[in-house]
Structure 1
Amino acid sequence: MPPSSPGPAAAARAAVGASLSTLTGVRSGKKSYYLELRRTEERMTSAVQALEGISAALVRTRDDPRALLHGVLRAAAGHVQADWTMLALRRSALPQTETRFLAVGPDGDLVDSERALPAGLGERLRGARTDLDPTTALADGWVTVPMMLDGAVLGRLVASYPLADAADPADLWVLRILANQAAMALQTASLFAAASEQHAHAQHLLDEIERSSTDLQHRTAELQRAEGRLQVLHQRELLDAERHRIALELHDSVAQYVLSAGLAVDLCRAEALEREGGQSQSVARLVHARDLVAQAGDQVRTVIYALHHEPVGDEVVTLSDLLRGLAEQHRPALLVAVRIEGVPDPLGARIEHGLARIAGEALFNTSIHARAGRAAVLLRYLPESVTLWISDDGDGDPRELRRRLRVSQAAAADGRHQGLANMADRATDLGGTFAIRRARQGGIRVEVCIPRPGPTGS
């Protein structure tokens, strides 16, 4: 007769027993059930305490992972009742991390010197620094757990473990969690060290940039001062050349005429004195004329000396001031009026110097060759250009001057009328035009038109 099948109650008890066995990992026999449950609870409590210690250490970890690593070692030692626990990085792993070895002994103190380790643990330290095996090893009362990060072995967690031949899987899980927490802490410390190094390098570069910027500002200020001094020197050279040229002309022409006139008057006075006697009215007039000629000669010599020795100031002056200074040098022989139209914006040293040289050359030609009594200088600032006119009331012929200019530009000059070619060349060098026309006063008008410089013009 076949055996009877179990009833519903027996089947329910069997199902409950199977579920408890699956959930707790122990069989539910009446004699061992509560004992296994208590052991499992103790293991769970130990694991939770270990993880709680790691959590407390983790929130205090920044650039130095020692606090977390110390917590890992103490948690591991407490969980498996180990006398010694040790963490070691492989030699080539995380090269920027300073902390590469730590251990906790039986007294719970942190050990960071290899000399303080027992001989056997020193040998295991050397093995942990070279082992690439990603599996957990159990042998000779020791357990070694790899510290894994992104599938790579960074090092080992080593702990004495009396149950090496029959390890509890829960113990190994806890040790793996602790080892991975240590690997993460070391990785964080390595990244923090790299970031700190980059930050220090960036700060160093920033300091260098600030020093370079300060040095550049000093050099820019020095360059501006040097440019100002150079502009003063250009202006001084311009005014000195004009004064020396006028002084030479006075010495070679006017002074000689005055001296000759004085000799002629003195000769006439001597002849009149012989012919009419000392009380003659003609003799008295000739004596007065001789004195006037002598005074004129003294004044000419004074002007020549002043032109040679009058100092030029050290201040940078505007183009308007330069033109007025040139006009002043030709007075009183030539009455020069200077007029400025428009907004006198700075044109740069090169353009202002060139225009002043053109004006000086034109006024000199007017004073020496045109037999003029008056001259006018007009400087007009336009939106796109600057024009300079120098006109006089002399007897010059613009067509003849234009012919002479063409001749001097086409052939080797003989030194005569070279001033026209100089003015035309200066205008061309500045990108402008040069023309000679009839002035309203009846004489010559020199016209120069220069385009305004751009933002970088000088």
Structure 2
Amino acid sequence: MTTENYLGALTGVRSGKRSFYPEYVRTAERLERAVGALDRISRALVRTGEGPRALVEAVVRAAAEHVQADWLLFAVADGALRAARPRFLLLTGGELVEDERLFPPDALAHLRILRSRPWEAGDPAESGVRVPMTLDCEPVGGIAARPAPGMDIADTDLAVLRVLANQAAVALHNSYLVHATMQLRGRTEALSEAAEQQARDLAARNAELQETQRRLIEVMQRQALDDERHRIARELHDSVTQDVLSAGMMIEICRAEMTEPGADLAALREKLTGAKDLTRHAVERLRAAIYALHHSESEPSGSLPVLLERLSTVHLPTDLTVSVSVHGEPVPLPGEAEHSLLRITGEALFNTVMHTNAARARIRLDYRADSIRLSIADDGDGDPAQLRRMLRLSSATDLAGAHRGLANMRARTEELGGTLSIRRSRIGGILLLLEIPLPLDTEAA
């Protein structure tokens, strides 16, 4: 290869006597424009963070300046880069136009081609130049321009336009990703803040609910004790009235017999002793009724063992001693379940006071791994076999109120999913044994 051929390959011009210098000048100008275009490309592409429109405007102005265009069109193909805005933009006379009705006819022809997909990059243009814009080797639009008169467009100029178009496609896609990420971040922060606020609201409502539930349980516990006290007070009122009337009649009989000649003083003394016992018994029952009526809302609530201790003091006649023992690790129970267990215990103690000659009663509460056992035993003269028979009869027929207490106790036990049995106690009287499975069904309770 000759020296001229080497020089032409390196500089893009041919050496010659008359043409060397003009071609050299044109090549130098193209090289200068190419370097300027690369600088404008870099300045245009770093505006990605400003949003898609600012990027498109910068690319359009850089491309138009490079080819000194009368007008320059940037267009995205239909169906491509769906988030890109604007979809097309024309620079003419220094103004940016988006309304295709204002486009020159030749620019409008280029727009129709650029928006079609796919289109061949080699399609001849009726006027001006046109280069494709590709992304992942797929046509996504392009740039078309009408250079100024006398402007010679070389392959290097088209290469610069292709670089601008392709980089614009990548930058548009990246700009969309940046803005989508920012929107997602803002949405995520808003959702996170809303979730935190909701969590705070739920925590506050949960605290309020727990406080309301605690107060409701306290009210139910007090109500259980109050119901038991008032029921016992009513029953004791009736029995006290009978004792007082019996003692009064006994005294009147003794007074009448004392006026008769030859009265049997020993018999009178025995009758008066009986009247004294009736009076003492009535006083003890009256004290129990008064205690039941005066110890109510002032007492704080407590756990089931504590409530059983208080319940044992309601039945206060001095001839009945009630003891409470608790075994195992206590577990919290629903308020309804504690209420039922208290009512069952109160009914059993009342029956002991009213229907037996017991001097002692024992309440035992056992917490086990899978159940709770509650037993009420006495040393009275009750008959377990007779009570079991009466309990069976109460299930089969209406006994006009007789032994309804036993039926109520069994019904409450079954509501808790447990069983009630009646046995002979080790201290000689009746043993009522309740066995409740754990964990309790709160809906049943």
Normalised by the size of structure 2, how large is the TM-score?
0.80
Q: In the superposition, relative to structure 1, how do residues 328 and 118 fare at CA in structure 2: closer, same or farther (>3 Å)?
A: closer
Report what 2:408 is aligned to: 422
| Unaligned ranges ≥5, structure 2 | 262-267
- Aligned-pair distance for 1:364? 1.4
Report what 1:280 is aligned to: none
- Aligned-pair distance for 1:444? 1.5
Report what 1:187 is aligned to: 173
- Aligned-pair distance for 1:147? 3.5
1:336–1:377 contact (8 Å) kept in structure 2: yes
Report what 1:5 is aligned to: none
Q: In the superposition, relative to structure 1, how do residues 316 and 450 fare at CA in structure 2: closer, same or farther (>3 Å)?
A: same
- Aligned-pair distance for 1:362? 1.4
- Aligned-pair distance for 1:370? 1.6
Superimposed CA distance per residue, residues 124-160 of structure 1 (whole angstroms, 9 cap, x where no aligned partner): 36963774354376555x4444433342334645454
- 1:44 equivalent in alignment to 2:15: no
Partners of 2:5 and 2:34 in 1: how far apart? Answer: 25
Superimposed CA distance per residue, residues 24-74 of structure 1 (whole angstroms, 9 cap, x where no aligned partner): 554443432344244223312321221122123323422514554444234
The farther-off stretch of 223-232 and 332-341 is 223-232
Which of these residues, 234, 247, 254, is aligned with residue 261 of structure 1?
Answer: 247
The farther-off stretch of 38-47 and 316-325 is 38-47
Which of these residues, 335, 349, 371, is aligned with residue 321 of structure 2?
Answer: 335
Q: Secondary structure at the match of 1:62?
A: helix
Q: Secondary structure at the match of 2:115?
A: coil
- 1:210 equivalent in alignment to 2:193: no
Give identity over the alignment, percent: 43
Query: Which residue identity lines up with residue 56 of structure 1 in the other structure?
Result: R
- Aligned-pair distance for 1:379? 0.9
Which of these residues, 311, 318, 328, is aligned with residue 296 of structure 2?
Answer: 311
Q: Secondary structure at the match of 2:302?
A: coil
2:73–2:111 contact (8 Å) kept in structure 1: no
Partners of 1:454 and 1:239 in 2: how far apart? Answer: 22
Partners of 1:420 and 1:253 in 2: how far apart? Answer: 20
Report what 2:309 is aligned to: 324
Report what 1:72 is aligned to: 59
Report what 2:352 is aligned to: 366
Q: In the superposition, relative to structure 1, how do residues 404 and 76 fare at CA in structure 2: closer, same or farther (>3 Å)?
A: same
Superimposed CA distance per residue, residues 177-236 of structure 1 (whole angstroms, 9 cap, x where no aligned partner): 112222222222233333334334434433443343333333323332332233234323
Query: Which residue identity lines up with residue 23 of structure 2 in the other structure?
Result: E
- 1:32 equivalent in alignment to 2:19: yes
Report what 1:162 is aligned to: 149
1:269–1:287 contact (8 Å) kept in structure 2: no
Report what 1:279 is aligned to: none
Number of aligned residue pairs: 434
Superimposed CA distance per residue, residues 423-442 of structure 1 (whole angstroms, 9 cap, x where no aligned partner): 33333332333222222221
Question: 5 Å matches for 1:124-163?
Answer: 124=107, 128=111, 131-132=114-115, 134=119, 135=121, 138-140=125-127, 142-150=128-136, 151-154=138-141, 156-158=143-145, 160-163=147-150
Partners of 2:287 and 2:440 in 1: how far apart? Answer: 45
Partners of 1:425 and 1:187 in 2: how far apart? Answer: 74
- 1:243 equivalent in alignment to 2:226: no
Report what 2:264 is aligned to: none
Normalised by the size of structure 1, how large is the TM-score?
0.78
Partners of 2:250 and 2:142 in 1: how far apart? Answer: 120
Query: Which residue identity lines up with residue 34 of structure 2 in the other structure?
Result: A
2:81–2:140 contact (8 Å) kept in structure 1: no
Report what 1:61 is aligned to: 48
Q: Secondary structure at the match of 2:330?
A: coil
The farther-off stretch of 95-104 and 253-262 is 95-104
2:371–2:437 contact (8 Å) kept in structure 1: yes
Q: Secondary structure at the match of 1:448?
A: strand
